[in-house]
Structures are given as structure tokens and as C-alpha cells.
Structure 1
Amino acid sequence: MSQNPYHVFAQVYDQDVHLEVPRAFFRTLRPLVLAHGAGPPILDLGCGSGLLTEALAATGARVIGLDGSRPMLALARKRCARFGKRVALVHARLERFQVAERAALALACHDVVNHLPSRSVLARVFARVQRALLPGGILVFDTVTEYCFERYWSDNTHLLEGPLGDVVMSCDWDADMQRATVRIISYVRAGRNRFARGETLLHEYFHAEADISRALVGAGFEQVWSRPWSPWRVQDAEAKRLRRLWCAVKPGPGGRPASKRSPAPGFRRLV
């Protein structure tokens, strides 16, 4: 069984829901991205195979993509090669990354924050991001809710099918540890009627709203906003219980307060 889950997962990642979530994330934040323009780079935190990176770069923005998985970054390099030097892809863990040029906008899409295993790691990552942002800079990310883990991860098995191969995801939820575990078995197409089998484990963690807010404020963010969010086309009450979208704003130049206006529609200020 692979120690790094994305050594297995990378081979079949770019299909099914893994395409839908970053597309929806970009659609939701497109006005904010376009307002950013072609100025300082945008940070794509946990960029994975570059699905969001590509969409950001297509607007004319410069993008720095950061990820801890070399196989996923290899996919991102192929996907974003046409953008040349406007896209830089860096192998780095989010709690230890550094950038040569600070950004005005940082984004983390598709459970990136739920991959962080503890409050202390959450605090270190947010502190790194805050230092990598310009004064007045904005961080936006999504998280999975406790309801979603309980309802859709607890003793559930999901089958993802696509042209790259099939993936069986056997999920479980440990309410005491606040940890979700997914056993991933992949069947990668390896020729006519032939498949290569891979197996790995992946963990995700629930972080309470109070813990996220506290970590953001402790990292030096001045404002914290949040709202229910769903990447799915059907925007019913059930769908909006599954995820939250978060936005944190760094103080402006000279430590002056940033604008109190919501950075994007629908957000409610928590701090």
C-alpha cells in the first residue's frame, strides 16, 4: 500500500467530482479573481493537478501553485505548460512554504484545509499564508462540514468511473477523533481490457468554525467571513449543508483596517 496516497490517486484523479469542485470554486470566485487582474501573483495552495491553476492563469493572472505531491505537480505542469512563466509550480508543504514575491490573493480549493491534521498545523499554515500575502491580501478556501462527514463519509462506499480508470472509495468517519478515512482502490487503464490496481489510505479532518476563526485571527488576519457553499448544480438546502466557503483579510498598508465590505456576495462576517 502506497505511503503517499497521491502516488496512487494521481493516476485517476482528473475525472468525476474532482473536476466539478474546482470548476465551481472558480465560478464562485471569478469576480474576485478578475478584479485582482494581472498584478501580483495568485497563490494556489494545494494546487494538486492544476485544475484551478489553469482556470486562474487563463484569466491572464500570474499563478504560483504549491503542493506536497510530486505526481500531482507533474500533472499540473503538463496542464499549465502553455502559460509559460506566468505559472510557477513549487513542491512544498503548506506549513513550510516560502515565496519570493508576495501575493494579493491566496486560494485553497477542494478540502485542502481538511487535509491539515490538527489545530497546530492549521495555525502554522495560516501564519505562512498571512506572511505570503501583501497588506490587504485575501485568503479564500472551502471546508467540509461535520454534517457532510457524518452523512456521506460514515460507512459509505463510492464508485468513481471515467476514461482514466475506476476508483472505489470506502469511507468511514470517526466522530471521537474527528477524522475521516478513505480506502482508495484504483484500477488504472493499462491497455485494452487491462487495468493496473493500486491501493492507498487518505485521511481528512473536521475543523470547527470556532477553531478556524481562532487560527486565522491568531495568524494575523483582521477579518474572517464565511458562508454555506455547494459546488453542485443543485443548490438545495441539503447541498448547502455540506461545505463552507471562508474568506480572511489581512490588515491594510501600515496596519490600517481593511475595507469592511464583504469581499464577495453572500459572506457573513464572523470576526
Structure 2
Amino acid sequence: MSLLVSTSVSSHRDKMILILLLITTISCVCAGKNVVKVKQTDYQAEENDSVTLEWTFTTRSDKSPNLLMILCKLVTDHRVSVVYRLHDGVEVPESQDEQFSGRVQCDRDVLREGQLRLHVSRLRTEDSGQYKCVVRTRYGQSADKCRLNVTATVAQEHTTTTVTPEPLGQERFYNLLGALIMTAVIILVITLWVAAAAAGWTVANVVIRVIVVIAVVVYSIAVATVTAPAMAVLVLALGGSTLLAVFVALLIYCMCRCWVRGQERQQQQLQKVVTIENSD
């Protein structure tokens, strides 16, 4: 009788232990199930900007991340590209697609807290698509996805060219220098003209007159075609000076010719007087 009672008690105890173990296992599995969830389902960005894609997953901060495995991919209608991969806590850059080479960084400091942050820089329009991250921990494997839309930047239709204007003082210096040179040339030409006229050098007189006429024509054309206000003032001043010099030269020429003719008349009168006296 005691043996039967002992056997019954032992059987009942074994059942209770099995039930407790089953309950403990189920509770551990349920409490430790890995859940990956994206923080934002849609992202909008422009070309050449940066964006941070974020996920959360189930983990414990006191556990080593060496058992953590992460695989993030870009899924489009044309292809599937590996964006980021972490195997047993170690990044695997060689498995990354060339499209994202050097442009993706993972914030490793927050992985212990169950946060996955991918920073994608220098965005391109071909980066648009669905980003799916698969995370596997000691609690299991799970995944979630989000969508990124990268729009192209609008190119500027007109480019503005900045032209540095010439300093005003330097422009005035050049204008003054040109005016002085041209004035000196004009004075020289007029002097030669007057001297040639007074001396009776017909050929030189004609050549100098031709030079003056050409100068007046050139100044007239320059006044009609010049566009810069400062140069227009300069050309007008030189043109007016030239015309004034021509008028003064003509006046001097006439006065000189009159004086020469007066001297010639006096010489003729003296000769007549001398001739008359000699005849007497």
C-alpha cells in the first residue's frame, strides 16, 4: 500500500515538474520573441542630401552584440542591392553593393539598445525604393521595411556671371593719360602746320591738313559708336579740342599769311621808292 502511494506521489511530482518546465519555456519564448519595427514608413529627400533610416528590434543591453546579425537591402523593380550587413557583430563591407560604397554608416553605439540607424549620405535618385532590414538575435529573426523617395534637384536655368568692375580711379587715370597724349599730338600737328604755312612749305602744309581731317573723321566715328559713358565724354572732349585747335590753327594761319603779305607789300613799296630815287 505504501509502495502504491509512493509511486503515485512520484508520478504526480514528475507531471508538475514537466508542466512547470513547459510553462517556463513558453513564457521565455513569448517574452523573448524578436520583433523588428521601422520607426517611419516613408522618407522624402532631395538629391545630394542625407537621410537616416531607423528600425527597432528586441534585445537586452546587458547581452553581447556579437551574436547580432543584420542584413539591409534596397528592393526596386529592377534589382536588389545590399545596403548594409553585420555578421556576428562584425561589419561586412565587401558584401555591400557598389552603389552604396562609402555612403552608408551604421550607428554602432545604439545597437545594444535595440536601435538600428543607417545614415545614407550624398543621395542619388537611384537610391529611391524599398529598404528592408532583417535582424537576427538570440530571440529569433524578424524584418520590417520602409520606403525612400529621392527627388532630383532643379537645375538653375540661368547662371549669373559676376564681372568685377575696373576701379574708378584707375579708369580716370587711363582717360586722363589718353587725353594728355592726344592733346600733345594735336598741339604738335598744329604747330607743324602753322610753321609750314608760315614758311610757305606747300607740301608739308597739305600733308598736315590731311592728317587733321583724318583725325576729325576718326573722332566723329568714335563719338557715334562708343558705348561707355566715361569714354564717350573723353572722345567728345578730344573731338571738341581737335575742332577748336583746327579753328585756332586756321585763324593763326590767316593772321600769319596776312602779316607775310603785309611785309611783302612793304618790301615792294620800298623797292618802288628805291627804284624811283635811282631813276631820278
More strand by share: 1
Specify the structure having the higher radius of gyration (Cα). 2
TM-score where L is the length of structure 2:
0.19
More helix by share: 2
TM-score where L is the length of structure 1:
0.20
Higher RCO (CA-CA < 8 Å; seq separation 6+): 1
